[in-house]
C-alpha cells in the first residue's frame, strides 16, 4: 500500500482503504463461495443479501421512513436528467429548475429535448456559477423543484436547501450524498451517481418517495419508468453487481467505522476548514467560489500567477498528490475532499501548498 497516492480526483474518486482491502481479499472467492461478486448470479442468495444490505444501510444512514424506496439504476445521474421529466412532468405542467452550474444546465437541457415544461426559478449564471442564488421565484403549481446540491466544477454547495412547501423537492446529490445528515421528509426524490462518494462508476442510487409513483404515465418504456425499479426491486434486468457490492461496503464503513453521517459531517467540516484556511492565508492562492457558497466536497482555487498552476500540478503529482487539475471548462485547481479522503491527505496537501508558496512567493 506504500505506492498509494493522496487522491483528490473529482470522480471516479477515492474509496476508503478498508473497503478496497475487503474487496481485494474477497475478489477471487466471496465468503468462501469460490467465485467473485463479479461472477455470481444477480438472482442468487449471496447477491440478494448484498443488494439488500446496501439498500438497508442507506435507509438507516438517512433515517428514511417507509414512504421511501431505494433503487439502483444504471446510466448514472445523466440518465436521471432525462428520466425525471419523462416520469414527473405532465401535459401542461412546468417544473422549476434552479440553475447553479454545468450539471443543472444539462438536466434542464434534457427536459427541453423532450419538450417538457421548464421554468428557471433561479440562476447564478450572471456570476459564472460561482455562488448559490438567493432570490428564488418558485411556483406553487410546479410538479417539482429540481436542485443540484453540490457543484463539482465551480466548487459551490447548498448549505440551506430551498423551502418548497407542498411541491416535491428533487435533488441531484451526486457529489455530496452521504456526506451530511438530511431531513429526507422534504424530498420527493434524491439521486446520485455512485462514483464520487459511494463507490465505483456504474450505477446511480435513487431514493424515491412512493407518492411520486402516482405521477408516472403508464406509456413509458419499461426501463425508463421508476415504477419498474420499484416493482422489481431494481432487478428487472441485471443490475451493476460490483458497484452495488462496493456501495454496501462503503455504507458499512460509514456506519461502523466513521460513526454515521453526523460524525462524517464533522470530519468534512474540519477538512474543508483546514484547506480553505490554507488558501486564505494570504494572496498567493485565491478561492474561486463565493465564500458563503463554498463546497465542503470540491475546493476550487487559483494561484494568483496562473502560469504557476501547471508547475503546481506536476510537482504535486510527483509528491504523491493526484487529481488537482481543475475542470477543463474553467481551468485552475481543484481538490475534491469526499468522505474517503482522509484528514491526513488534506494535511499533506496543505503542507505541499505552504512549501510551494514559500518557494514561489
- What the block records as the C-alpha cell of 27 is 475478489
Tens of pLDDT, residues 60-78: 999 999 999 999 999 999 9
Annotation says 125 is catalytic = no
Give yes or no for residue 97 having a pLDDT over 90: yes
Residue 170 · residue 151 · CB < 8 Å: no
Tell which residue, 154, 215, 203, 206, has the closest CA to residue 184. Answer: 206
Second-level CATH architecture of 28-257: 3-Layer(aba) Sandwich (3.40)
Domains in the chain: boundaries: 28-257, 260-360
* Sign of the torsion angle spanned by Cα atoms 61, 62, 67, 68: negative
- Choice among 59, 96, 103, 116 that is catalytic: 103
Res. 273: pLDDT tops 90: yes
Share of the chain above pLDDT 90, in %: 99
Selecting among 196, 209, 271, 325, the annotated active-site residue is: 196
- pLDDT, residue 2, reads 66
Does residue 1 have a pLDDT over 60? no
DSSP character string of 264-278: HHHHHHHHHHHHHHH
Distance CA 103, CA 108 (A): 9
Dihedral over Cα of 38, 39, 42, 44: its sign: negative
* CATH 3.40.50.920, applies to 260-360: no
Annotated active-site residue 253? The verdict is no
- Catalytic hit among 59, 172, 176, 271: 172
Residue 20 pLDDT > 60, yes or no? Answer: yes
Mean pLDDT of 172-189: 97
pLDDT of residue 361: 87
The pLDDT of residue 105 is: 98
Q: Known catalytic residue: 116?
A: no
Amino acid at each position: 500500500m506504500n505506492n498509494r497516492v493522496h487522491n483528490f480526483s473529482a470522480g471516479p474518486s477515492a474509496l476508503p482503504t478498508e473497503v478496497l482491502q475487503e474487496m481485494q481479499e474477497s475478489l477471487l472467492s466471496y465468503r468462501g463461495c469460490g467465485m467473485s461478486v463479479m461472477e455470481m448470479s444477480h438472482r442468487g442468495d449471496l447477491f440478494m443479501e448484498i443488494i439488500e444490505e446496501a439498500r438497508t444501510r442507506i435507509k438507516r444512514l438517512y433515517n428514511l421512513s417507509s414512504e421511501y424506496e431505494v433503487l439502483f439504476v444504471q446510466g448514472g445521474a445523466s440518465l436521471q436528467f432525462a428520466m425525471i421529466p419523462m416520469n414527473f412532468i405532465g401535459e401542461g405542467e412546468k417544473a422549476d429548475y434552479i440553475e447553479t452550474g454545468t450539471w443543472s444546465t444539462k438536466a434542464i437541457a434534457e427536459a427541453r429535448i423532450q419538450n417538457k415544461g421548464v421554468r428557471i426559478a433561479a440562476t447564478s449564471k450572471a456570476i459564472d456559477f460561482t455562488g448559490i442564488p438567493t432570490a428564488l421565484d418558485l411556483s406553487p403549481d410546479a410538479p417539482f423543484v429540481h436542485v443540484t446540491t453540490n457543484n463539482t466544477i465551480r466548487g459551490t454547495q447548498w448549505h440551506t436547501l430551498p423551502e418548497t412547501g407542498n411541491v416535491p423537492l428533487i435533488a441531484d446529490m451526486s457529489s455530496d450524498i452521504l456526506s451530511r445528515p438530511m431531513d429526507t421528509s422534504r424530498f420527493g426524490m434524491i439521486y446520485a451517481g455512485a462514483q464520487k462518494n459511494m463507490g465505483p462508476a456504474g450505477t446511480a442510487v435513487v431514493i424515491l418517495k412512493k407518492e411520486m409513483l402516482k405521477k408516472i404515465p403508464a406509456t413509458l418504456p419499461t426501463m425508463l419508468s421508476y415504477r419498474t425499479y420499484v416493482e422489481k426491486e431494481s432487478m428487472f434486468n441485471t443490475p451493476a453487481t460490483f458497484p452495488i457490492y462496493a456501495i454496501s461496503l462503503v455504507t458499512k464503513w460509514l456506519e461502523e467505522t466513521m460513526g454515521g453521517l453526523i460524525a462524517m459531517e464533522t470530519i468534512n467540516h474540519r477538512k474543508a476548514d483546514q484547506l480553505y484556511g490554507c488558501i486564505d492565508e494570504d494572496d498567493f492562492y485565491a478561492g474561486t467560489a463565493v465564500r458563503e457558497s463554498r463546497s465542503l466536497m470540491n475546493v476550487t482555487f487559483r494561484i494568483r500567477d496562473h502560469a504557476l498552476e501547471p508547475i503546481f500540478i506536476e510537482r504535486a503529482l510527483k509528491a504523491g498528490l493526484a487529481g488537482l487539475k481543475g475542470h477543463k471548462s474553467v481551468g485552475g485547481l481543484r481538490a475534491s475532499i469526499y468522505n474517503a479522503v482522509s484528514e491526513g491527505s488534506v494535511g499533506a496537501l496543505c503542507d505541499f501548498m505552504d512549501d510551494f508558496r514559500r518557494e514561489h512567493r
